[in-house]
Copies of this chain bind each other. A is one copy, B any other.
Amino acid sequence: MEENDQKGTEERIRPIPEPTLRRLPVYYQYLKRKHEEKGLDYISCTRIGSDLNVLPIQVRKDLQCADAVGKPKLGYNVKELIGTIETFLGWNNTTEALLGYQGFREYGLDIIAAFDIDEKKVGTKVAGRSIFHVSKLPDMIRRMSVKIGVLTVPAAHAQEQADTMVKAGIRAIWNFSPVKISVPPQVIVQHENLASSLVVLSKKLTLALQAGVSER
């Protein structure tokens, strides 16, 4: 009746709340700036919270999830905290991926190459990366053991290209296309629906503009 509760050797894999996971990179960015610009040694949740417009208690909870340990009265050691978050998010060893935005290497993502069906684009460069024809994709994935595919094609071709990636052995797909794609259960899909975000923004804007009018 031990309920295989052997907490001893290996840590139970706690599920981290997604909102927390999304806030951690924000703290990270902030801490790096604080560290570089101000050379700050210690920082408190109160400070982080007021700068980032997050409640201090939430900051504390989030950092706790990332296994950060602070000192009462002093706060958290900034340098150590940066390292802790890096380790927790696995940013120590970069993962290879296929095209995306620039500036992700800092987050442990190394963009390897870009692909396109359009022959006119093949051979040109985007964000400093050569564009190859999609037919080269399977080979490339295998040879360089790429783990993440970034899907930025129109709805009509999304499933087809996802299939190509999966067949070539990709382990996760970052999907910017507006349609749901079907993949085997072992492949992870992260949907990035920018249209959804835009909706949130424009809805707020509409309400604000209306309010502005009725207040007049």
Contact = CB atoms under 8 A, between A and B. Distances in A.
Interface string A181-216: 000001010101111111111111111110010000
Contacts of A21: 196, 199-200, 203
Interface residues of A, number: 56
A90 interface: yes
Contacts of A25: 178, 193, 195-196, 198-199
A29 interface: yes
A22 interface: yes
Interface stretch (A39-47, A103-111, A135-143): A103-111
B198 A107 contact: yes
B179 A29 contact: yes
Interface string A43-59: 00000000111000000
A53 B201 contact: no
A89 B205 CA distance: 11
Interface in A97-131: 101, 103-104, 107-109
B196 A26 contact: yes
A197 B190 contact: yes
Nearest to A203: B21
A52 B22 CA distance: 24
A14 to B, nearest CB: 11
B101 A202 contact: no
Contacts of A180: 26, 30, 51-53
Interface of A: 13, 16, 18, 21-26, 29-30, 33, 51-53, 89-90, 95, 101, 103-104, 107-109, 147-148, 154-155, 171-172, 174, 178-180, 186, 188, 190, 192-209, 212
